[in-house]
Amino acid sequence: MRKTIAFGICAFMITIFLGLFDSISVSAKMEIPEDAFEYNGHYYYYYSNDSITWDAAKEACEELGGHLVTFTNKAEENAIWRYMGELGTPAWIGLYNDGAIDRIYQKVGDDWKWVTGEKVRFENWAKTQPDHLSHFLQDSFDMYAAIGRGEEVVFTEVEGILDTPSWGDFDNEYHVGKHDIKGYICEWDIYEVNVSNAPKKLKKGKSVTLNVTVTDKAGDKEVKNAKITFKSSKKSVAKVTSKGKVTALKKGKCTITIKYKDFTKKIKIKVK
């Protein structure tokens, strides 16, 4: 499956001009393998390699219109883990720490970040991880996460390590023996929730029915009969029905969350 995303007239003209040169391309395409694994509106694919750095894996995913995998919760991680099966581990994931290393044991969420910019709400570090060991061995201030089985993501044998998914932190180019990172997981977020008439302000007593569409970016088409849910952060300020009708009740501010599968769109409304 492929999708070419247009970036406007300027980008289109630049693409035509640079297209004269075989070695240069500025088009952004979403290229998803036909046998990719689908879960909750996302596609995933494991790529194997003799040995690859985190930077190279990140670039490879982005060139395909995706990104290194991010995990929102344990259910998503378990689904990907089952898909990986015997494909091979450890594998790079989209979690990184870009230099704020000032102690050995850090809590995820402080300095660790997902490549997509989303908040780090879920962690699954192996026992003793992250330990930033390769930082001291390689004199690097950037660390990157990989997922693997037990001792694949730690540097020594640790009691209690199980044959279950867990994360370890590595230097970008740290490859020694069984700790070679020989693969990476790309993820494609194929759906996008759009609201064409989102109001910024609404007078008390007034109502508006939100015009919501869901786009399948991989197929470049609108999703028909999409099952969308609506939720108000402050029902006393503005309520919303299952059909997307928002009614302003009293002065204040609230956020309406529109959700399709794992994809959300939030609109902020001020009631006057």
- In this structure, the number of other CB atoms found within 10 A of the CB of residue 9 comes to 8
C-alpha 251/C-alpha 271 separation (Å) is: 5
Average pLDDT score over residue span 26-53 = 83
- Chain segment 181-226, per-residue pLDDT in tens: 778 999 999 899 999 999 999 999 999 999 999 999 877 789 999 9
pLDDT band at 142 (very low <50, low <70, confident <90, very high): low
Q: Are strands 2-5 and 28-31 parallel, antiparallel or unpaired?
A: antiparallel
Q: Whose CA is closest to 187, among 116, 264, 119, 258?
A: 116
- In this structure, the number of other CB atoms found within 10 A of the CB of residue 40 comes to 12
- Chain segment 228-257, per-residue pLDDT in tens: 999 999 999 999 999 999 999 999 999 999
Length of the chain measured in residues: 272
Q: CA-CA-CA-CA torsion for 37, 42, 47, 53, nearest 10 degrees?
A: -160
Per cent of the chain over pLDDT 70 is 71
- Chain segment 50-86, per-residue pLDDT in tens: 778 889 999 999 999 999 999 999 999 989 888 887 5
Q: Is the pTM for the entire model greater than 0.95? A: no
C-alpha 211/C-alpha 20 separation (Å) is: 42
Domains and CATH numbers, the chain: 1-29 (no CATH), 32-189 (3.10.100.10), 192-271 (2.60.40.1080)
